[in-house]
Amino acid sequence: MPGLRRFPAYLVTSLAILAFTAFLAFALIRLFQVEKDMRDNVDENMLWVVTQAQVASHRLDQAVNRRALGDTDEDPELRLDILSSRLTLMDDGPQRRYLAARGLEAPLNTALDHLDALRTSVEDTATAERFRPQAMAPHLDGLMTRLNRIANAVMMAEWESTGARLDTYRSSLMQVIGSVVGITLSGLGLMLLLIHALRQRRIAQRALTAHRDQLEVEVARHISRYKTTADALARALNRERGVSEFYRSFAAMVSHQFRTPLAVIDSGLQRLQRRAPPFTAEQRSERYQRLRNAVAQMTRLVESSLTAARLDGQQVEARPACHSLAAIVDHLCRLQTEASGIDRLTTRHASPEVLAWCDRALTEQVLANLISNGLKYSPASHCVHVTTAREGNQAICRVLDNGPGIPHAEQDRLFERFFRGNNASGTDGIGLGLNIARHLARIQQGDLEVSSNTGEGTTFTLRLPAADTDQEEISDVRD
């Protein structure tokens, strides 16, 4: 199909070029012919040549007669020479051919014969009376008659030739005009073909560009698909690593931290088994309580270890929504007070209430850890203060205690796993809580910081992304 379509296009173009060239060549040839013809002008000179010969013959006649009448100024010798030269000229190649072509060879030959006769009559005569009018008259008459005939015929031939030449010029010019029209038309055709070709090329270029763009999009799409797959694979691999890390950490934790409470429980149970010395009900109750504490510690340990291991394995995911930070704090404080039976917590909330973009369960876990730490590491007579506020685009919750404070050197390491400060040596704990809390804050796009001066107390600051009221709706839509 494309071959068929292309063929006529080339054919038309070739024809147009051919026509253009042919018309141009024809016009040029015709113009050159006219130009050459205009230069060939022998016949235009011929009438002058013949007329001059006539004049020369008359001048000779006149000179001969006047000399006979005694006019010595006349020079028949010169006049005869001039007449001879005029006839010699007519006898020369181009002139003779011209006359012969018009059937005037016979009168020319006769005229030349008369000239010869004139010369002979002059040369045969004695010097004194060389130019005798009576002897010369018949030859001069014959010569003049022939020259007159020739002049007459040449005049008509010239007019005929001029007329014919004008006809030829007119016809040639008409042909040239026709050719120019042809040149114009074929040129116009070529121009249209050119415009058409240019337009086709532009369309083709546009199509090519579009195709290239589409290809690029396609390639990009493929690449992004491969990238997505690769990312998914990387994530899957990470998750797999996380899972194995989770098991490894959990195993290490269990072996390291669980022995002590298990030993406590075991020795307590052994004593109870031996029943000696016999315990009072009060003593028994106290020992049971100790055992329960050990179990509770273990439970906490297991929970913390699980959380830490899940964090390591990237198994914990935050599902943020818009929550009131004050509501979370109040809820936690109430629970804490109910559990311990002692009210050591004070709260202060900024107005309007601070909204945070966070996962409620994770935030509760962080704050519960901070509050229980505050209560644990400050004297029983002192309160722990919890405040909420908004700073820029962050929702802030601070937990302040009046405990012994943490030395600056230890503050940097405070969030490391299994790190326990010097002040904490008297209390139970394994150094996981703050590490987990910071992790949980960070996976919610927040952070956890500490500032403390020894002897003045410690302040933990939880920073979370602030939420605006209208974001609540967005979170609902997302869920």
Partner 1 sequence: MKLIRPCVLATALLLPVPGLAQDAAKPLPPAAGEVILTVAGQLPTTHPGEEIPLDRAFLDTLPHRELVTSTSVTDGKHHFEGFLMRDLLERLGTGGDTAVAIALNDYIVEIPVRDFHDYDVVVATHMDGQQLTRRDKGPLWIVYPRDDHTELQDIRYDYRWVWQLRRLEIQ
Piece of 87-95, 319-327, 351-359, 425-433 that binds partner 1 (CB under 8 A):
87-95
Piece of 48-56, 217-225, 248-256, 400-408 that binds partner 1 (CB under 8 A):
48-56
DSSP state of 351: S
Output phi, psi for 169, to 5 deg: -60, -45
Task: Say if residues 376 and 370 touch (Cβ distance below 8 Å).
Answer: no
Least Å distance, CB 45 to partner 1, is 8
The answer to whether 3 contacts partner 1 (rule: CB under 8 A) is no
Piece of 12-20, 91-99, 104-112, 424-432 that binds partner 1 (CB under 8 A):
91-99
Nearer to partner 1, 57 or 324 (CB): 57
Piece of 52-60, 257-265, 329-337, 401-409 that binds partner 1 (CB under 8 A):
52-60
Least Å distance, CB 129 to partner 1, is 22
The answer to whether 475 contacts partner 1 (rule: CB under 8 A) is no
Per the document, the length of the chain is 479
The answer to whether 41 contacts partner 1 (rule: CB under 8 A) is yes
Nearer to partner 1, 123 or 338 (CB): 123
What residues contact residue 403 under an 8 Å CB cut-off, 6+ apart? 374, 377, 378, 379, 382, 423, 457, 458
Query: Which residue in 78, 100, 210, 251 binds partner 1 (CB under 8 A)?
Result: 78
SS3 27: helix
Query: Which residue in 2, 70, 93, 392 binds partner 1 (CB under 8 A)?
Result: 93
Nearer to partner 1, 74 or 401 (CB): 74
The answer to whether 62 contacts partner 1 (rule: CB under 8 A) is no
Tokens 């990387």, located at residue: 234
The answer to whether 82 contacts partner 1 (rule: CB under 8 A) is yes
The H or E element that residue 215 is part of is helix 133-257
The answer to whether 161 contacts partner 1 (rule: CB under 8 A) is no
Piece of 38-46, 324-332, 335-343, 443-451 that binds partner 1 (CB under 8 A):
38-46
The answer to whether 100 contacts partner 1 (rule: CB under 8 A) is no
What residues contact residue 279 under an 8 Å CB cut-off, 6+ apart? 287
- Taking the C-alpha atoms of residue 467 and residue 405, their distance in angstroms, rounded to an integer, is 32
The answer to whether 95 contacts partner 1 (rule: CB under 8 A) is yes
Piece of 3-11, 61-69, 92-100, 227-235 that binds partner 1 (CB under 8 A):
92-100
Least Å distance, CB 194 to partner 1, is 40
The answer to whether 84 contacts partner 1 (rule: CB under 8 A) is yes
The answer to whether 110 contacts partner 1 (rule: CB under 8 A) is no
The answer to whether 240 contacts partner 1 (rule: CB under 8 A) is no
Piece of 86-94, 230-238, 247-255, 415-423 that binds partner 1 (CB under 8 A):
86-94
Least Å distance, CB 106 to partner 1, is 21
Nearer to partner 1, 79 or 344 (CB): 79
The answer to whether 88 contacts partner 1 (rule: CB under 8 A) is yes
The answer to whether 56 contacts partner 1 (rule: CB under 8 A) is yes
Helices 133-257 and 281-312 sit at what angle, rounded to 10 degrees? Answer: 170
Query: Which residue in 19, 51, 81, 110 binds partner 1 (CB under 8 A)?
Result: 81
- Shortest CA distance to 396 belongs to which of 296, 466, 294? 466
The size of the interface with partner 1 (CB under 8 A), counted in residues, is: 21
Checking 108-111 for CB contacts under 8 A at 24+ apart, the result is: 108/146, 108/150, 110/142, 110/146, 111/87, 111/142, 111/143, 111/146, 111/147, 111/150
Least Å distance, CB 39 to partner 1, is 8
What residues contact residue 431 under an 8 Å CB cut-off, 6+ apart? 416, 417, 418, 419, 420
Q: Quick one: how far is CA 356 from the chain centroid?
A: 46
The answer to whether 198 contacts partner 1 (rule: CB under 8 A) is no
Tokens of 284: 């028994």
- Taking the C-alpha atoms of residue 98 and residue 45, their distance in angstroms, rounded to an integer, is 11
Nearer to partner 1, 58 or 300 (CB): 58
- Shortest CA distance to 380 belongs to which of 345, 424, 354, 338? 345
Checking 161-170 for CB contacts under 8 A at 24+ apart, the result is: 161/43, 165/37, 168/34, 168/37, 169/34, 169/37
SS3 164: helix
The answer to whether 209 contacts partner 1 (rule: CB under 8 A) is no
The answer to whether 68 contacts partner 1 (rule: CB under 8 A) is no
Tokens of 277: 């010395």
Query: Which residue in 13, 51, 52, 172 binds partner 1 (CB under 8 A)?
Result: 52
Task: Say if residues 404 and 417 touch (Cβ distance below 8 Å).
Answer: no
Binding site for partner 1 (CB under 8 A): 39, 41-42, 44-45, 52, 55-56, 59, 78, 81-82, 84-86, 88-89, 92-95
